[in-house]
Amino acid sequence: RLLLFANFTALAEEQGHRLFNFTFHSYAHLFETTSQDIYCQYPTQKRRSLFEVIPGPAAAIRKTRIFYHAVRTASRLHERFPIFGSSVVTLRESPRPDLIAGLDGLEVQDQIREAKVVFVYGWRFQAPALVQRHGGKIRAYFRPIQEYENSSSQAVNRLRRQADVVVGVHLRLGDYYKWRGGKFFFPVSRYTGWMNELADQFPGRKVGFLVCSDEPRNPSEFPGLTVGLGPGSAMGDLYALAKCDYVFGPFSTFSQWASFYGEK
């Protein structure tokens, strides 16, 4: 969801739109901006909503996701009966699973150009050139809350005291055993081999590896290597990887976000 949100944030910044993302409520508490904004909107607004100021409503809204359900219902009704008129459109991903729509491409732009409100359905949307162009503002928007900023920094800084170069390793097992037939599942021994190969790429320099895994790990699993472990939480690990000098791991949006946020 982070990557999808980032792509739409880039489009909003490029074209001057105002973006609301009620689907992000499950993760809103993890970020400085969205934890203070019941609408999860971009650009951020200086004035807070009454839902945030009055104790109680914000937590209930996020837990029930009532805004999301209301918007979803309104969008579906509008598709069947255009009750809001032509100024409201619904942008849906292609039924073809291999097709990713470019948000800045002609097809999407023709659909939304005259709209006042756009409802979005689906995951397969992107605008990589816009994300690159507005990367600084996107990173600022998705700054983690202090708890995870601290834990990620501490994990990386501990390892930096023992190494000249810090490489983040996203060691994902768990669900990858079956996902896509295990195509991206690799045993720990395989990761260890890659880590040794990487260490050889830096002659004369001490390489440390920050291992972030979805399963408990022990540095003893990586003999002969300087290894530190991530904070242990998904957010802590994600932003710790971003603070490393390099990142490697299997095909994953987790590694992709860490690389983007850390400008790798």
Give the pLDDT confidence score for residue 91 in this predicted structure. 94
Whether the pTM exceeds 0.85: the reply is yes
Give the pLDDT confidence score for residue 128 in this predicted structure. 97
Outline where the chain has alpha helix (H). Answer: 2-15, 50-53, 57-64, 66-80, 106-112, 128-133, 135-141, 146-160, 188-199, 234-243, 253-261
Cα 41 from Cα 22, distance rounded (Å):
9
CATH of domain 146-261: 3.40.50.11350
Task: Give the pairing of strands 19-20 and 41-42.
Answer: antiparallel
Half-sphere exposure of 42 (CA within 13 A, CB side): 24
What tens digit of pLDDT does each residue of 166-199 get? Answer: 999 999 877 787 777 777 788 899 999 999 999 9
One-letter amino acid at 74 equals A
Tokens of 131: 């994300």
3-state class (DSSP) for residue 244:
coil
Give the pLDDT confidence score for residue 257 in this predicted structure. 97
Query: What is the phi/psi pair of residue 142, to 5°?
Result: -100, 35
Below-50 pLDDT ranges, the chain: none
What totals of helices (H) and strands (E) does the chain contain, helices first?
11, 10
One-letter amino acid at 215 equals E
Give the pLDDT confidence score for residue 112 in this predicted structure. 96
Give the pLDDT confidence score for residue 183 in this predicted structure. 78
Contact 165, 206 (CB under 8 A): yes
Tokens of 245: 């000098």
- Spatial CB neighbours of 42, under 8 Å, sequence gap ≥ 6: 9, 12, 13, 18, 19, 21, 141
Give the pLDDT confidence score for residue 61 in this predicted structure. 87
**What's the DSSP call for residue 31?**
B
What are the residue boundaries of the structural domains of the chain, listed by start? 2-141, 146-261
What tens digit of pLDDT does each residue of 114-135 get? Answer: 999 999 999 999 999 999 999 9
